[in-house]
Amino acid sequence: MKLFGKIATLTAAALATATLAMSGVANAQSDPLKVGFVYVGPIGDHGWSYEHNQGRLALEKEFGDKVETTFVEKVPEGADAQRVINQLATSGHDLIFTTSFGYMNPTLRVAKNHPKVRFEHATGFKRDKNVATYSGRFYEGRHVAGLIAGKMTKTNTIGYVASFPIPEVIRGINAVAIAARSVNPDVKIKVVWVSSWFDPGKEADAAKTMIDQGVDIIMQHTDSPAPIQVAESRGVWAVGQASNMSAFGSKAHLTAIIDNWSPYYVARTKAVLDKTWESGDTWGGFKSGMVEMAPYNTAVPADVVALAETARKGIIDGSVHPFTGPIKDQSGKIVVPAGEVAPDGMLLGMDFYVEGVEGKIPQ
Amino acid sequence: MIDFVVLALLTIITASTPLVFAAIGEIVVEKAGVLNLGVEGMMIVGAIGAFAVAVTTGDPTLAILAGAASGLVLAFIFGFLTLYLLSNQVATGLALTLFGIGFSALLGNGFVGQTYGGLPHLDIPILSDLPFVGQLIFGQDVLVYLSVFSALGVTWFLGRTRWGLAVRAVGENHDAAHSIGFSVTLIRMGAVLFGGAMAGLGGAYLSLAHTPLWVENMTAGRGWIALALVVFASWKPWRAFFGAYLFGGITIVQLHAQGFGVDVPSQILSMLPYLATIVVLVLISRDGSRARLNAPACLGRSFHASG
């Protein structure tokens, strides 16, 4: 027992010294600013985490040796996340981006113990003095994709490979339905839920299934490029998700909705450097550059490209809102009256399909 | 309508084939008395092995062989640990899966974002153009045929050949098999290697034919389904074959039902194979004398020739 006690004391002393030494180092060099990133997937997922990592690289390019970035990939949501975030916070990082919804509570808990460190949590809704949140208005991109799809479909049926029935995903489906039907009132949306964010085999099967049922445009809210490949081999159109997926099917790839985190990451890092950083919530779209469209397929006719670009510019200058009334739900009931736009609160909690979407939302 | 049925059946075949390979392979392993829970790990390593070779050389035959070889190498590690060093089979198998997933991610780093044209399909003039059966029976890729032959071949091997009998003998009673002169460890090693190669082929089918690309963790739990199918099939290869098609069929029919707007809870359908396995396990425990006839008596037990 005595021996253990001694070891414990020694360890504690050693730790204290080490911590002191580290904080000494941190104090001695006022720069570079250390920025940490926590990713849920591998940076090679060619989707969500890949794009966050592009944002990190943009920071290094923008600020050079004024910043030093660290990232930890494939961090499971839950207890592991808290350990990783805590480790970043205690190792002298001044700004930490946690880039998945499931990191919300771990981020807040770590933030309480490290009031001087700033945290940025993607897609969450809980904030604190040193925890800001941010997300993208991806439905703006879905609106543009929906317009193109409505014009390009010959069978008037768009297939949607969906992951989980949360408002974020339902909002995307509805945005496509409203946009596509605004240019082609006969369009119907078929939705297949695969109960996974990432299962290439099942995503491919879902795409094949819908193509067999007469769909000629595949959209997805899952993270693998498998549906694009299927569309390419079956000779139908597809819209990429999160990043430009044209490498997986250059003929099928109409466009893609790209998550571009770089402008936000640069702005927030600059705010820390300028000592103007404040907590808050950012929901950025085309205007802030957080959402972008990949280059349109050359097979898309010029008038359709013009239509898409007009909508994109309209969203930027505020003249177009993807959820402008009259919007009816599946039963025909008006949920957004003519001339009004859906408030952000409705968009954030969206739990119903609009007219034109087939089937029911799984409970 | 007929076209639609053919297309749906084609999708079912693609969804089921990886499961057939992995389940048939694991049946031979378990018949020899070894429980290898590392199927998922061997599949994923097979997937990256095959894909890497396909992209680098462009040769489908080499790619398929590489898939089988990758699974085999992983199985060798498992066999060496459990059969020669007598480590715990359950723990080693689980570790093999974790290792396989991590190792494949490392190997696959440079292959993310690349594509492969897919396995060439057999195209027999006239026969492939026949209505209905043409595409289904005469227009598949080589791995689909191989999966059917492996089910037939393993049934024949286990039931009709001397070496199949030896495999079953070491699985039923390794002491008795040892006492009449069989080398228990070597026979088990052979079975484990075969199982690894088959799991590797299952993985190769995923990355070469089903979704011809590489992304981390792309097997997404299919190895575990294959393990469940082995018990579900009560260690009979042909039952595992139909079990795999039943499971693939349910998956695809469920997706079709959703597309047609039929209100089915997809979560319930996706747990069906596991549910069926639990039911089979309950039956085995309840009516031991009948169902246990098929379960290898020495399953999961280490063998050490002590005299």
DSSP state of A335: E
Give 10-residue mean pLDDT values along chain B (307 residues): 84 94 97 96 97 94 97 97 95 96 90 83 76 78 94 96 95 93 95 98 96 87 91 90 90 86 72 73 68 78 78
Q: Are B8 and B248 in contact (CB under 8 A)?
A: no
Q: Where are the domains of chain B?
A: 2-294
Q: How far apart are CA B224 and CA B39, in angstroms?
A: 7
Q: Are B279 and B291 in contact (CB under 8 A)?
A: no
CA distances from B219 to A20, A59, B45, B224 (A): 47, 34, 10, 10
Max distance between CA atoms of chain A, in angstroms, equals 83
In this structure, which amino acid lies at residue A266? V
Residues of B in contact with A224 (CB under 8 A): 211, 213, 215, 218
- The answer for residues whose C-beta is within 8 angstroms of residue A312's C-beta and 6 or more apart is A140, A144, A286, A293
CATH code of the domain occupying A138-251+290-348: 3.40.50.2300
Q: How far apart are CA B152 and CA B150, in angstroms?
A: 5
Q: How far apart are CA A338 and CA A326, in angstroms?
A: 4
Q: Return the CATH fold of B2-294.
A: ABC transporter involved in vitamin B12 uptake, BtuC (1.10.3470)
What is the secondary structure of B218-241 as a DSSP string? Answer: TTTTHHHHHHHHHHHTTT-HHHHH
Residues of A in contact with B251 (CB under 8 A): 202, 205
Q: Where are the domains of chain A?
A: 12-136+261-284, 138-251+290-348
The whole-number pLDDT of residue A16 equals 43
Q: How far apart are CA B252 and CA B141, in angstroms?
A: 20
Minimal Cα–Cα distance from A312 to chain B, Å? 28
Query: Of A355, A363, A353, which is closest to residue A171 (Cα–Cα)?
Result: A353
The whole-number pLDDT of residue B122 equals 75
Q: Are A289 and A260 in contact (CB under 8 A)?
A: yes
The whole-number pLDDT of residue B52 equals 96
Residue A34: phi and psi, rounded to 5, are -95, 125
Location of structure tokens 């009256």? A337
Write the class of the CATH domain A12-136+261-284.
Answer: alpha beta
Q: How far apart are CA A280 and CA A130, in angstroms?
A: 9
Strand partners, A133: A121, A281
The whole-number pLDDT of residue B14 equals 92
DSSP state of B119: P
Interface test with B, best of A202, A210, A218 (most B CBs within 10 A): A202
Complex-level ipTM? 0.84
The enclosing H or E element of A190 equals: strand A188-193
Q: Is B58 left (phi over 0), alpha (psi -120 to 50) or beta?
A: left
Asked if A247 reaches chain B (Cβ–Cβ under 8 Å), the answer is yes
What residues of chain B have any CB closer than 8 angstroms to a CB in chain A? 4, 7-8, 11, 14-15, 18, 105, 108-109, 112-113, 115, 118, 206, 210-213, 215-218, 220, 222, 251-252, 255-256, 258-261, 263, 265-267, 270
Q: Are B191 and B28 in contact (CB under 8 A)?
A: yes
Residues of B in contact with A44 (CB under 8 A): 108-109, 112-113, 215-216
CA distances from A56 to A72, A94, A333 (A): 12, 15, 45
CA atoms within a 13 Å half-sphere pointing along the CA-CB vector of A61: 9
Residues of B in contact with A194 (CB under 8 A): 255
In this structure, which amino acid lies at residue A200? P
Query: Of B196, B221, B200, B197, which is closest to residue B45 (Cα–Cα)?
Result: B200
> pLDDT truncated to tens, each residue of chain A (363 aa)?
344 444 444 444 444 444 434 443 444 445 699 999 999 887 877 778 889 999 999 999 999 999 999 999 888 887 889 999 999 999 999 999 999 988 999 999 999 999 999 999 998 889 999 999 999 999 999 999 999 999 999 999 999 999 888 888 999 999 999 999 999 999 999 999 988 877 889 999 999 999 999 999 999 998 888 999 999 999 999 999 888 999 899 999 999 999 999 999 999 999 999 999 999 999 999 999 999 999 999 999 999 999 999 999 999 999 999 999 899 999 999 999 999 999 999 998 899 999 999 988 887
Nearest to A46 among B105, B112, B217 (CB): B112
The whole-number pLDDT of residue A189 equals 96
Three-state DSSP class for residue A338: coil
Same fold, A12-136+261-284 and A138-251+290-348: yes
Nearest to A359 among B220, B222, B261 (CB): B261
* Burial of B22 per CB tally in 10 Å (0-12, 13-18, 19+): buried
The number of C-beta contacts closer than 8 angstroms across A and B is 109
Give the rounded distance of the alpha carbon of A194 from its chain centre.
19
What is the secondary structure of B137-156 as a DSSP string? Answer: HHS-BHHHHHHHHHHHHHHH
pLDDT digits (tens, 9 = 90+) for A242-295: 889 998 999 999 999 999 999 999 999 999 999 999 999 999 999 999 999 999
The answer to whether the CB atoms of B258 and A208 lie below 8 A apart is no
Minimal Cα–Cα distance from A258 to chain B, Å? 16
- Chain A: residue whose CA lies nearest to B117: A233
Task: Quote the pTM value.
Answer: 0.84
Location of structure tokens 């943009």? A58
Query: Of B102, B64, B94, which is closest to residue B78 (Cα–Cα)?
Result: B94
The whole-number pLDDT of residue A164 equals 87
Query: Of B136, B116, B115, which is closest to residue B124 (Cα–Cα)?
Result: B136
List, as own/partner pairs, every contact residues A26-31 make where C-beta atoms lie below 8 angstroms and the sequence separation is at least 24, other chains included: A26/A92, A31/A65, A31/A66
Asked if A59 reaches chain B (Cβ–Cβ under 8 Å), the answer is no
Structure tokens at B240: 């595992």
Q: Is the bond preceding residue A326 a cis peptide, omega within 30 degrees?
A: yes
Residues of B in contact with A198 (CB under 8 A): 215, 217, 220
Max distance between CA atoms of chain B, in angstroms, equals 67
Cα-Cα-Cα-Cα dihedral sign, residues A33, A38, A43, A49: negative
The whole-number pLDDT of residue A26 equals 43
The whole-number pLDDT of residue A317 equals 95
